């Protein structure tokens, strides 16, 4: 298996120009034919944030210091994972024509999708940073670890993407099931509310959710303005690595048989 991994990575390297072109095409097509182009992809989450913030701070009245910032930080990291995985799940099936006609290292398709998605999400993170100024959050040097955090979320999302992209080839309901699961998880993960709102019993249960750690981790530079604990960092690294391993293993194990199911 390690052999397969090394072979695949070295093939991706020799096809690196293709990877670049796939990412460029992906981004270009997304913004083609739309008048506001790039703007929509930023306005969408911002509007969503606006509505949520309005409802949960004015109507449902969650009492929290700088709730909008809290919410935005959680939303940005959640979207990074959810959007990327959901879209990347289609990456093999959507490229079936290519796969059936030309030899490519199949890993290139989910990889290109995840990278192109992340470029968008990193932009959103920058906007979040601007929000920090506007909402007078605390700007601290902890912000410097943001790239590292994004990297960990990237690895985690890539792992999920590889796993589900593989499954989708054989079970075409996958995106539907994922959609429902993500919807449920959105409310069951402390994004709209802090973990402290839960009773100790529920808290333990909610801590079984791996997504929680990434959301919480990402809040440290933007909301808490503190260095995250070593314990949290280790958990996040471990989950990222484990998910990536599972994803890449499943992918490499099955990639030879993709063509027979496309």
Q: How far apart are CA 131 and CA 217, in angstroms?
A: 18
- Residues in 79-108 at the binding interface with other proteins, rule: CB under 8 A: 97-104
Binds other proteins (CB under 8 A): choice among 15, 31, 129, 249: 15
Burial class (CB in 10 A: 0-12, 13-18, 19+), 113: buried
- The neighbour count for residue 3, using CB atoms within 10 Å, is 8
> 21 or 183, CB closer to other proteins?
21
Work out whether 20 is an interface residue with other proteins (CB under 8 A): yes
Q: How far apart are CA 218 and CA 247, in angstroms?
A: 22
> 21 or 209, CB closer to other proteins?
21
> 79 or 90, CB closer to other proteins?
90
Work out whether 256 is an interface residue with other proteins (CB under 8 A): yes
Work out whether 254 is an interface residue with other proteins (CB under 8 A): no
> 98 or 227, CB closer to other proteins?
98
Work out whether 27 is an interface residue with other proteins (CB under 8 A): no
CB under 8 A, 24+ apart: contacts of 181-184: 182/82, 182/85, 182/86
Work out whether 259 is an interface residue with other proteins (CB under 8 A): yes
**170: Cβ–Cβ under 8 A, 6 or more apart, which residues?**
261
Shortest Å, Cβ 122 to other proteins? 23
**118: Cβ–Cβ under 8 A, 6 or more apart, which residues?**
80, 84, 150, 154, 157
Work out whether 21 is an interface residue with other proteins (CB under 8 A): yes
Q: Which residues bind other proteins (CB under 8 A)?
A: 14-15, 17-18, 20-22, 25, 28-29, 32, 97-104, 256-257, 259-260
């Amino acid at each position: 298996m390690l052999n397969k991994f090394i072979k695949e990575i070295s093939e991706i390297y020799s096809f690196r120009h293709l990877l670049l072109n796939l990412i460029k095409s992906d981004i270009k097509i997304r913004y083609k034919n739309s008048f506001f182009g790039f703007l929509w992809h930023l306005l969408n989450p911002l509007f969503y944030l606006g509505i949520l913030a309005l409802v949960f701070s004015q109507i449902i009245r969650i009492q929290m210091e700088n709730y909008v910032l809290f919410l935005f930080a959680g939303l940005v990291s959640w979207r990074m994972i959810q959007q990327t995985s959901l879209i990347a799940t289609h990456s093999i099936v959507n490229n079936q024509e290519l796969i059936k006609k030309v030899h490519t290292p199949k890993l290139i398709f989910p990889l290109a999708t995840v990278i192109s998605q992340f470029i968008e999400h990193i932009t959103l993170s920058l906007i979040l940073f601007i929000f920090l100024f506007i909402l007078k959050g605390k700007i601290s040097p902890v912000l410097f670890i943001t790239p590292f955090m994004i990297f960990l979320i990237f690895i985690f999302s890539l792992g999920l993407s590889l796993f589900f992209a593989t499954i989708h080839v054989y079970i075409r309901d996958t995106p539907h099931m994922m959609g429902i699961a993500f919807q449920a998880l959105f409310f069951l993960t402390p994004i709209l509310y802090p973990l402290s709102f839960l009773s100790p019993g529920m808290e333990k249960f909610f801590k079984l959710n791996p997504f929680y750690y990434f959301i919480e981790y990402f809040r440290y530079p933007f909301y808490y303005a503190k260095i995250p604990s070593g314990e949290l960092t280790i958990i996040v690294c471990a989950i990222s690595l484990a998910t990536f391993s599972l994803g890449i293993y499943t992918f490499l194990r099955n990639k030879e048989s993709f063509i027979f199911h496309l």
